[in-house]
Structures are given as structure tokens and as C-alpha cells.
Structure 1
Amino acid sequence: MPNPSSDRAIAIVGVGAILPDALNAPAFWQNIVNKRYCISETPADRWSIADYYDPDPAAPDKTYSKIGGWVQGFQFDWKKYRIPPRVAAAMDEGQQWAVTIADEALADYGYPNRPLDTERTGVILGTAMGGELHYITQNRIIFPEF
């Protein structure tokens, strides 16, 4: 009879990442090793500090922070994944990151040169992207008259 805990055993065999100042997992690791601080002021092309910043945390539809971790320089290679240009153009950046990160994790494992048991393989995606509430808040900011 198998050990019940062995049925739950997992192995992390590949990793991928897109993070501030790290467009892949090795770059992220180097940031850790080098103790690099990857938080910075909001880039001008991200959003207008004048429009959205207020030092008062209670100010409605504003943020009291001017800093964050920003992913910059990411270019989605839609050709590599054989995604039609119109579909790629309609993809959210988070979706593009997910495809790219999953590909990096599979490559880190050794795929396609190493066999992959697709019956026992999964891709786990961790994200800090907002859900429904994020979109409602975003609409209040974009369309304050509503």
C-alpha cells in the first residue's frame, strides 16, 4: 500500500519569472544575490503622478504612493508561440507574461529535449494581478463621472 503522503508529493522541476528589473528567473536570482532594490518612482509613461497621487491615504480614487516595482522592457514574441498578430494584439500583458513564463519554466526543465509526462505535469502561475475589484476601481479612475 502506498504511503498517503507520497500521493501528494510534488517536484518543482523548472521555474520562470517576469518581475521588476528581471525579465527572467536567472535575472531575478542575480537581483537577489546582488541585493538589488527594484522599487522605484512611477515611470512617467506608466501613469501621471499629477492626476493620481495624493499624500492623503483617504483621498478617493487616488494613491498615496509614488513608488512601485515596474516591469519594463518586456517584448512579447508572438511569432515564437505561433499566436496570430491580431490575437496577440488583443492579449492582456498579464496573459503574455503567463505564456512567456510557462515557456521559460518548461525550458528550465529541459523541454523539448527532455521527455515530459503531460499526465503528471502542471503549470502553477502566481500573480499579484487584481481581480474583479481591480477592474471596478480602474473604471472609477478612468471614468470618474460614473
Structure 2
Amino acid sequence: MPNPSSDRAIAIVGVGAILPDALNAPAFWQNIVNKRYCISETPADRWSIADYYDPDPAAPDKTYSKIGGWVQGFQFDWKKYRIPPRVAAAMDEGQQWAVTIADEALADYGYPNRPLDTERTGVILGTAMGGELHYITQNRIIFPEFAHE
């Protein structure tokens, strides 16, 4: 009799990553091995400290922290993925990361030189603070509602 759990078995066969101070999985692993601290002050081009920072943790609509883990130096290679320039320009950074990370994971597996059973293959992504372009677009759409106040 076959093992009932054998149909549900999974294997992680490739990994990809874009993280603070690590634009790929091997760089992330090296940061771990080297015990590298990858938290830094908020970059000036990320968001305005003056708009969001207050040292008082009870201040409404503010943060009392000026540090975080920031992905810096990422350049999306839209030509590699044959994405038209206008589409690439409209992509959120989180979408660009997802395409790049999935490609890295597939390459780590050995694709396209190694066969891939697409019926039994999935890509699992995790993100924090992704989709920021969505919020900017949403704010542009609803701005007129608030402009009348």
C-alpha cells in the first residue's frame, strides 16, 4: 500500500532572495555567516524623516524609529525578461523583485538546463512593505476627495 503522505511531499530545490545588503541568496548567506548587521538609518530617498519621525512613541501617525532593513542598489533588468519599457516603468518594486527572485530560484534549481515538471512546481514568495507603488497610485486616485476639505 502506498504511503498517503508521499503525494503531499515537497522539496525546496531552488532559492532566490533580495534582502537588505543582499541582492541574491548567496549574498544573504554570506551576511549570515559573517554575522553582518544589515539594519541602517532610513535612506533620504526612502521617506522623509521630518514627515514621519517623532521620538515620542505615543505620537499619532508617526514612527519613533529611524532605522530599518532597506534593499538598496537593486536594478531591475527588464530587458532580460523582455518586459516592455512602459510596463517595466509601471511595475512596483515588489513586482520587479518577485520576477527577479523567481528567476534566481529557477536558475538555482538548474532551469532551463534541467527539466522542470511545471504541473508540480510552485514559487512561494514572502515580502514586507511590498506594493508601495499601489499605495501611491491609490492616493492619487482618492486625493480629490480629501482636497475639498
- Fold shared per TM-score above 0.5: yes
Aligned residues: percent identity?
100
Contact 2:78–2:84 (Cα < 8 Å) also in 1: yes
- Pair 131,77 (structure 1): closer, same or farther in 2 beyond 3 Å: closer
Q: Decide whether the 8 Å contact of 2:93 with 2:130 is kept in 1.
A: no
Give the Å deviation of 1:2: 2.0
Query: Structure 1 residues 21, 130: closer, same or farther in 2, change over 3 A?
Result: closer
- Asked if 1 retains the 8 angstrom alpha-carbon contact of 2:92 and 2:132, the reply is no
Aligned partner of residue 143 in structure 1, secondary structure: helix
- Which residue in 2 is equivalent to 1:54? 54
Q: Give the RMSD, CA atoms, in angstroms.
A: 3.2
Secondary structure (helix, strand or coil) at the match of 2:50 reads helix
Query: Are the equivalent residues in 1 in contact too, given 2:52–2:63 (CA < 8 A)?
Result: yes
- CA separation in 2, counterparts of 1:129 and 1:25? 19
User: What stretches of structure 1 move > 4 A for 4+ residues in a row?
Assistant: 130-146
- Normalising by structure 2, what TM-score? 0.87
Residue 136 and residue 57 in structure 1: after superposition, are their counterparts in 2 closer, same or farther (change >3 A)? farther
- TM-score when scaled to structure 1? 0.88
Distance in structure 1 (CA, Å) of the matches to 2:140 and 2:87:
28
After superposition, the Cα gap between the structure-2 partners of 1:128 and 1:67, relative to the gap in structure 1 and judged at 3 Å, is same
8 Å contact from structure 2 (residues 52, 62) kept in 1: yes
Deviations 1:51-84 (A, max 9, x none): 2100122222211110000000000000000000
Runs of at least 5 residues in structure 2 that lack an aligned partner in the other structure? none
Asked whether the 8 Å contact 2:93–2:131 carries over to 1, the reply is: no
In the alignment, the residues of structure 2 paired with residue 39 and residue 30 of structure 1 have an alpha-carbon distance, to the nearest angstrom, of 16
Is the CA contact 1:14–1:106 (under 8 Å) kept in the aligned structure 2?
yes
Aligned-partner SS, 2:145: coil
| Gap change, CA 1:56 and 1:141, over 3 Å in 2 | farther
Q: Which segment drifts farther, 14-23 or 39-48?
A: 39-48
Shift of 1:119: 0.7
Evaluate the alpha carbon distance shift between residue 139 and residue 55 of structure 1 in structure 2; reply closer, same or farther with a 3 A threshold: farther
For residues 83 and 141 of structure 1, do their structure 2 counterparts lie closer, same or farther at Cα, with a shift above 3 Å needed? closer
Does the CA-based 8 Å contact 1:61-1:141 persist in structure 2? Answer: no
Structure 1 residues 78, 137: CA separation in 2 closer, same or farther (over 3 Å shift)?
A: closer
Q: Is 1:21–1:71's contact at 8 Å kept on the other side of the alignment?
A: yes
Partners of 2:131 and 2:86 lie apart in 1 by: 25
Matching residue of 2:122: 122
1:49, CA displacement in angstroms? 1.2
Q: How much has 1:135 moved relative to structure 2?
A: 4.4
